A and B are shown apart, each in its own frame.
Chain A
Amino acid sequence: MADDKILIIMTSGPDTPRRCATPFFFATLATAMDYEVTMFFTIDGTLLLKKGLADTVYPKAGGKSAGEFMREAIEAGVKMTACSASLELHDLKPEDLIPEAKIVGGASMWQMAEESKTVLTF
């Protein structure tokens, strides 16, 4: 049973690789503190959920890919949600996303924010 909920809103995507590691790292860290963590991907963040794309994004040259950071977060129990409108923005279909991503509407984001003790935006 988790202590509290945390919501991380991810708006950064492949155009800004250096912004694509820390949000996942912080999410994984929060699960290690027994928080229940959800990431909500919108704007360009949603692109990171496109199958295979995060594996081509390197926050640091020679380091781990954003895909590796994301998989660690998923393995630690972080829930991944994608904003339905942002799929349209990038001409993505639900089947283009990794299977762990759950597509939700914008109102779900407000609901998750309301239920969370802390909301972080990247």
Chain B
Amino acid sequence: MAIIRGCNLPEDLYYYPEKHLWLKPLGGNLFRVGLTPIAGKLAGGKLNAVTVRAKNIGAEVQQGKSVATLESSKYVGPVPAPITGIVKRGNDRLASDPDLVITDPYGEGWVVEMEATKWDEEKAALLTGAEGLAEYEKKLEAAGISCA
């Protein structure tokens, strides 16, 4: 576990820093995807709705395309796919408790699970480990973002 600029960012996850998402390898090509506390903060800190797009389940989504949406009183925006892959399932618990994404970002608040189809070519752009987090810290510093 690492605390970077006040944000809890576990070292064993992969990060998609453009949209502050995390990926956790579940074995094979399967990955769980969620929001870091940074994304939660940028979204206004309390969400009214997190909706996984039903038509994407079972379909291949390109990296950067929307897999879900976030709605708060201050913000509305997409959760883009951090990798290209087939969306296997969304987190059903978010329908009744969207704020889990904020309150338990690495646990019950995950958003989707995806089966990567271009992992080998896309993983280089993701950040992970102590070295990756050092780079992430630089990006946060440059953007003036902190979770404090």
Contacts and interface: CB of A to CB of B under 8 A. Distances in A.
Interface residues of A, number: 9
A72 interface: yes
A31 B76 CA distance: 10
A34 B76 contact: no
A35 B66 CA distance: 10
Contacts, number: 22
Q: For the complex of A and B, list the 9 residue pairs with the smallest distance between their C-beta atoms, beginning with the closest.
A: A32-B78, A32-B69, A34-B66, A28-B76, A29-B76, A32-B77, A33-B66, A32-B66, A33-B69
Interface of A: 25, 28-29, 31-34, 72, 76
Contacts of B71: 29
Contacts of B93: none
Interface of B: 53, 65-66, 69-71, 76-78
A112 to B, nearest CB: 22
A72 B78 CA distance: 13
B66 A72 contact: no
Given A32-B66, A72-B76, 19 more contacts: A25-B76, A28-B76, A28-B77, A29-B69, A29-B71, A29-B76, A31-B78, A32-B69, A32-B70, A32-B76, A32-B77, A32-B78, A33-B53, A33-B66, A33-B69, A33-B78, A34-B65, A34-B78, A76-B77
A25 B75 CA distance: 9
Nearest to B75: A72
Contacts of B69: 29, 32-33
Nearest to A32: B78
A110 B139 CA distance: 46
16 contacts: A25-B76, A28-B76, A28-B77, A29-B69, A29-B71, A32-B66, A32-B70, A32-B77, A32-B78, A33-B53, A33-B66, A33-B69, A34-B65, A34-B78, A72-B76, A76-B77
Nearest to A60: B73
Contacts of B76: 25, 28-29, 32, 72
A37 B68 CA distance: 17
Contacts of A34: 65-66, 78
Contacts of A33: 53, 66, 69, 78
